[in-house]
C-alpha cells in the first residue's frame, strides 16, 4: 500500500462484493487510502482475481446480522471517511449499516452505494450483473457480427464503469467535504 499517495489518511470501510465495489476500493487503496474489506465468513474467496482486487487492503470478517458484529462495525465507522456498499436496496437498512444509521455516529461520513439500477427506480430490485446492464443499455447489440447473436465481451465493461463512477463520486464528495467541512 502506498501510504504516501494522494489519499493517504483516508479511511474506507468496504462492504461490497463481486467486481464494481472491490475494484472501486482497490483504486482508492492504490492511491493510499486505508481500506478495510468487511467480509462475511461465508464469502471468503481466493485466487488471482481475488488477490488483485483485494490488494493493499486489510480484511475483517464480521457478521453484521449479529449485535457483536454491528458493534465492531459501528466502532470502525466512527473514524471512517467512506463506506462503500453494493447490496440490493433495503439490505443495508435491514442490517442497520445504512447511511442514516452511520451518520448518527459519524456526521461527516461519505456513503457510496454502487447498484445496477439505483435505490428507488422501477428496476431497483433486479439482479445486477455486467451482462444485464449491457443488455438493458443496448450495448450487446453493438458487439459482434451484424448478422450474428450478440457477443458477451470478455471484459466486464459496465462493472468497471460503475466502479469508476464510484471513485469519481467519492473523490468529489471528499473534495466537497474538505471545502465545506
Q: Which residues are catalytic?
A: 129, 159
For residues 6 and 39, what is the distance between their CA atoms, to the nearest angstrom?
A: 26
For residues 8 and 29, what is the distance between their CA atoms, to the nearest angstrom?
A: 9
Residue 52 has a CB neighbour count (10 Å cut-off) of: 11
For residues 130 and 3, what is the distance between their CA atoms, to the nearest angstrom?
A: 32
User: Which three-class secondary structure state does DSSP give residue 6?
Assistant: coil
Q: Say what angle helices 157-180 and 20-30 make with each other, to 10 degrees.
A: 50
User: Which three-class secondary structure state does DSSP give residue 85?
Assistant: strand
Q: How does 7-16 read in b/e, with b if 16+ C-beta sit within 10 Å?
A: beebbbbbbb
- The backbone torsions φ and ψ at residue 166, rounded to the nearest 5 degrees and listed phi first, read -60, -45
Amino acid at each position: 500500500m502506498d501510504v504516501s499517495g494522494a489519499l493517504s489518511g483516508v479511511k474506507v470501510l468496504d462492504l461490497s462484493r463481486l467486481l464494481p465495489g472491490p475494484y472501486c476500493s482497490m483504486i482508492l487503496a492504490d492511491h493510499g487510502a486505508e481500506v478495510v474489506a468487511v467480509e462475511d465468513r461465508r464469502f471468503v474467496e481466493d485466487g488471482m482475481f481475488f488477490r488483485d482486487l483485494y490488494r493493499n487492503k486489510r480484511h475483517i470478517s464480521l457478521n453484521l446480522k449479529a449485535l457483536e458484529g454491528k458493534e465492531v462495525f459501528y466502532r470502525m465507522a466512527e473514524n471512517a471517511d467512506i463506506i462503500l456498499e453494493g447490496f440490493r436496496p433495503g439490505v443495508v437498512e435491514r442490517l442497520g449499516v445504512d447511511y442514516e444509521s452511520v451518520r448518527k455516529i459519524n456526521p461527516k461520513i461519505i456513503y457510496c452505494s454502487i447498484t445496477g439500477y439505483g435505490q428507488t427506480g422501477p428496476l431497483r430490485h433486479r439482479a445486477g450483473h455486467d451482462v444485464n446492464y449491457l443488455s438493458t443499455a443496448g450495448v450487446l447489440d453493438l458487439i459482434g457480427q451484424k448478422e450474428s447473436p450478440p457477443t458477451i465481451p470478455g471484459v466486464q465493461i459496465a462493472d468497471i464503469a460503475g466502479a469508476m463512477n464510484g471513485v469519481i463520486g467519492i473523490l468529489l464528495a471528499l473534495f466537497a467535504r474538505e471545502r465545506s467541512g
